[in-house]
């Protein structure tokens, strides 16, 4: 098998080929690094490429196979991480200039450790919005991340490098974070699979925080199976992370083939219909038809949930960086520094009121799942915008681009529900040909199995798929 052909395999095919000895882990790591070298000057997804580490880890996988050992589920599969994950030996930038003066990490983040234990091979760290505050990855320090389907357009954010790296075929799996939509927005705009697990499901220890009250970590992948394998690899309690509420492992991979028969499936209307363009409504209709949706559901207090999420985000985010804002404001990202400062200046009463509302809000959302098992909504209101675009149009409303890309994701993550972002490709009136726009598949807390099963059902129906990046052909 040639290195070029190895890049055409998806996650499970790579792992199976390594286990059978059809391709070596070193060959896969080398192919990934060569692909990054050939494409990343145009995409700008990577901030660090870890060639020596990748080849050493891949070599260890090959040695284990030669000794006849049973290989771990992701053995030999290359992956990369958003540069807010600690990686031993490199500085955790979190997209910033300020962090460049910090010492290198002395240990890997826990999720990186768990991915390595599952046999995955880390090849690098990825571009992002500074301190995860943004939806476009137009990073002024590292340069903007470019969408592999149209290099003039954004990759989404804040995990833009993660979405772009998978879409560009540089790696089959990437890790990111999602506070208000930072996995689902890049997944939607780059046309890849993404999973935002239940809040508290995966440990965050060893990752640079943004908003402790809302931060989630999760994977991007080239297939639903890739999502499930990486998610299962990262599961498990962590007694040293008080924000990790998972007490057990509920493996998703064995449940994938159960399908969606018998599930009560609804389409979110109201807020999620009103804030969607025709292209976004088109992909929701396609997903609803493929999955057999039975009716419309209304998400309670969606606009209020988004407003409360904004208040908590600004307050916690700003106060986390208070000392640097006082002394090094000029070193912050120009596109977000004002929002950090405004967060510091918010009255404490606003923050406390938003947190009190969140408890009521989650109860109302959880009640919705007494009647529904799965809900479908657009992941973004529009397809990827041109880099530098300041506004978007949604049904005659002109809105600022950077915050508005999260219009449809913020209410969901504020409730902590698990979501799979599925890559869809609108082609109807008003859609930009060749650009993706994803849907959110949403379930009750702790039901990642349901959203992953629905994702696989969409893929098997031919409604959702990852496509080759046309701008890198």
At 13-50, the pLDDT tens digits run 999 999 999 999 999 999 999 999 999 999 999 999 99
| Whether pLDDT at 227 is above 90 | yes
In 3D space, the residue among 94, 124, 88, 332 whose CA is nearest the CA of residue 207 turns out to be 94
Residue 430: which of 454, 391, 395 has the closest Cα? 395
8 Å CB contact between 384 and 435: yes
Phi/psi of residue 268, nearest 5 degrees: -75, 120
Q: Match 């960086």 to its residue by tokens.
A: 321
Catalogue the E-assigned strands of 136-289. Answer: 138-139, 143-144, 146-147, 150-154, 173-178, 193-196, 216-221, 265-268
- The catalytically annotated residue of 6, 177, 182, 336 is 182
Q: How far apart are CA 158 and CA 420, in angstroms?
A: 17
Quick check: is 162 catalytic? no
pLDDT value of residue 6: 62
Quote the mean pLDDT of the chain.
Answer: 97
Which residue has tokens 């833009």? 160
Scored b (16 or more CB within 10 A) or e, 289-304 reads ebbebeeebebbbbeb
The whole-angstrom separation of Cα 429 and Cα 333 is 37
Please, what are the domains in the chain? 3-472 (3.90.1300.10)
Say whether 41 sits in a helix, a strand or coil. helix
270-297 per-position pLDDT tens digit = 999 999 999 999 999 999 999 999 999 9
Name 203's Cβ contacts closer than 8 Å, sequence gap at least 6: 110, 111, 217, 236, 237, 238, 241, 243, 244
Query: 182 an active-site residue?
Result: yes
348-368 vs 302-320: helix crossing angle, rounded to 10: 140
Assign 4 a pLDDT band (cuts: 50, 70, 90).
low
Of 258, 267, 270, 230, the closest CA to residue 11 belongs to: 230
**Distance (Å) of CA 301 to CA 50, 308, 311, 410:** 45, 10, 15, 12
Q: Could you report the per-residue pLDDT of 295-347, keeping only the tens digit for each?
A: 999 999 999 999 999 999 999 999 999 999 999 999 999 999 999 999 999 99
Token pair, residue 329, equals 């404001």
Is residue 382 within 8 Å of residue 431, measured between CB atoms? no
Q: Residue 177: CB partners within 8 Å, gap ≥ 6?
A: 82, 84, 132, 158, 159, 183, 207, 210, 215, 216, 217, 218
pLDDT of residue 5 exceeding 90, the answer is no
DSSP state of 268: E
User: Would you call 96 a catalytic residue per the annotation?
Assistant: no
Which listed residue (96, 158, 223, 336) is catalytic? 158
Task: Measure the CA–CA gap between 7 and 5, rounded to whole angstroms.
Answer: 5
How confident is the model over 374-392, as a mean pLDDT? Answer: 98
Residue 169 CA to residue 225 CA, distance in Å, equals 16
Average pLDDT over residues 176-204: 98
Say whether pLDDT at 258 is over 70: yes
Return d(Cα 103, Cα 183) in angstroms, integer: 27
* Dist CA 120 CA 315 (whole Å): 36
Contacts of 131 (CB under 8 A, 6+ apart): 94, 95, 96, 208, 210, 317, 320, 321, 333, 336, 340
Of the candidates 82, 162, 187, 404, the residue annotated as catalytic is 82
Question: Whose CA is closest to 454, among 472, 440, 466?
Answer: 440
Distance CA 181, CA 407 (A): 9
């Amino acid at each position: 098998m040639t290195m070029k052909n190895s890049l055409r395999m998806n996650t499970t095919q790579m792992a199976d080929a390594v286990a059978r000895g059809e391709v070596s882990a070193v060959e896969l790591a080398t192919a990934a690094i060569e692909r990054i070298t050939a494409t990343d000057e145009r995409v700008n997804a990577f901030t660090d490429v870890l060639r020596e580490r990748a080849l050493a880890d891949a070599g260890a996988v090959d040695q284990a196979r030669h000794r006849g050992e049973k290989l771990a589920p992701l053995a030999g599969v290359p992956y990369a991480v958003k540069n807010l994950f600690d990686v031993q030996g490199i500085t955790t930038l979190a997209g910033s200039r300020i962090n460049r003066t910090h010492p290198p990490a002395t240990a890997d983040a826990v999720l990186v450790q768990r991915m390595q234990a599952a046999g995955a091979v880390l090849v690098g760290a990825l571009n992002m919005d500074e301190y995860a505050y943004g939806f476009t990855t137009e990073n002024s320090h590292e340069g903007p991340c470019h969408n592999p389907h149209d290099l003039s357009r954004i990759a989404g954010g804040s995990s833009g490098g993660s979405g772009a790296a998978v879409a560009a075929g540089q790696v089959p799996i990437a890790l990111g974070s999602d506070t208000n939509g930072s996995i689902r927005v890049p997944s939607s705009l780059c046309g890849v699979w993404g999973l935002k697990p239940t809040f508290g499901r995966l440990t965050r220890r060893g990752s640079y925080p943004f908003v402790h009250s809302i931060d989630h970590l999760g994977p991007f992948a080239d297939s639903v199976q890739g999502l499930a394998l990486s998610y299962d690899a990262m599961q498990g309690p962590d007694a040293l992370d008080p924000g990790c509420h998972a007490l057990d492992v509920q493996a998703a991979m064995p449940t994938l083939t159960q399908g969606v028969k018998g599930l009560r499936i609804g389409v979110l209307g109201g807020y999620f219909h009103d804030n969607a363009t025709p292209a976004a409504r088109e992909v929701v209709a396609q997903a609803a038809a493929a999955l057999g949706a039975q009716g419309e559901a209304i998400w309670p207090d969606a606009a209020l949930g988004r407003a409360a999420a904004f208040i908590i985000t600004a307050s916690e985010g700003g106060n986390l960086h208070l000392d640097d804002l006082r002394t090094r404001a000029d070193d912050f990202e120009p596109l977000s520094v004002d929002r950090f400062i405004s967060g510091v200046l918010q009255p404490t009463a606003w923050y406390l009121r938003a947190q009190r509302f969140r408890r009521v809000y989650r109860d109302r959302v959880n009640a919705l799942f007494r009647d529904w098992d799965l809900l479908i909504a657009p992941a973004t209101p529009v397809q990827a915008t041109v880099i530098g675009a300041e506004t978007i149009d949604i049904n005659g409303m002109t809105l600022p681009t950077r915050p508005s890309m999260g219009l449809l994701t913020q209410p969901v993550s504020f409730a902590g529900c698990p979501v799979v972002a599925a890559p869809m490709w609108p082609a109807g009136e008003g859609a930009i040909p060749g650009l993706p726009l994803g849907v959110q598949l949403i379930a009750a807390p702790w039901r990642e199995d349901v959203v992953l099963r629905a994702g696989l059902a969409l893929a098997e129906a031919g409604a959702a798929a990852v496509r080759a990046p046309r701008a890198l052909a």
